Structure 1
């Protein structure tokens, strides 16, 4: 356990972010997809006026409901959200050569699409960042259960801070209700984990929260952003 991790133990999310800001002033950023967990963190950041860069990735294939909650969130908090888009040339080449739905054909094609639309823009957004705040929770998927509250991302050479890693889904919902935080209305229709529209479906009762992502393939349900 690092000294920084030890210092974060028993701190609230607000206190932990404040501590990290003191350690790495001007180099703490939060990536939001406007899902329920991310809305909790955004509310904590802006409610407490914490100077954290907040950014999002617009893949070009998002649900309208995601844009709606983005609009509501910016109107509610009156705070800027940096938007990062994929490289136009790379998207044009992908769609021109493989068509608009190549991701359905193989895991390799799907990861290629995720790479162009998400990972490359993410890496650009994280340039110069020392601490990347995420909304990951351990119970979201099997490969997230071993994640810690603070991890070293060797590939990007930064700390990844997962303040909600040990939160339960009920805790997330309770926070959103208590503070009247805007949320994506697709959550009310069985969409728990929301990504690109062609790659996300509602889940059935009892299914894993990530079961609705890339449902046609047998994979770890990850796009490469978090491993």
Structure 2
């Protein structure tokens, strides 16, 4: 049985993420144990890790850092090759820094920065909330397998991650201009949208994460 650590650091969407992961796990032929935990030992030993997130970059990063040993445990798991998925602000925390309410250092696992959305179309409101089609999908990424060329996912955010290396962008979306919708660097992955709120396509993506190594 493989273990999946859903990291509990006070994020508001934790329970919906847990429910979606359990539904995705039901589609697999292998057994999956979903652990909602902030225990560094369990996180360090987990086969896979999911970091959810809603709210401000600084608040989420500070809450994560306040759990003694948790960031170090996450780092140890990622370093040994455990697949890691960041969701919404959980993806943004992968960046070098966030620029919400000043500058806050992130985990730095995928170089880049998180800055406020500035749509060129005045009709595109911020926060960006609702369904949007993904585009520019990296078809070779197992995380995106079976989603088709333009799957629709649910977004709710005001800031977006701009990786320093365009090769780390594996999907984009358009809201008055294109921005990053999903990233990947080796075994570290992230999505700006909420797969737990994205119905069939979101569950398929979570199933892909539970099945693949990168």
TM-score by length of 2: 0.31
- Higher-helix-fraction structure: 1
Identify the structure with the greater strand proportion: 2
What TM-score do you get using the length of structure 1 for normalisation?
A: 0.30
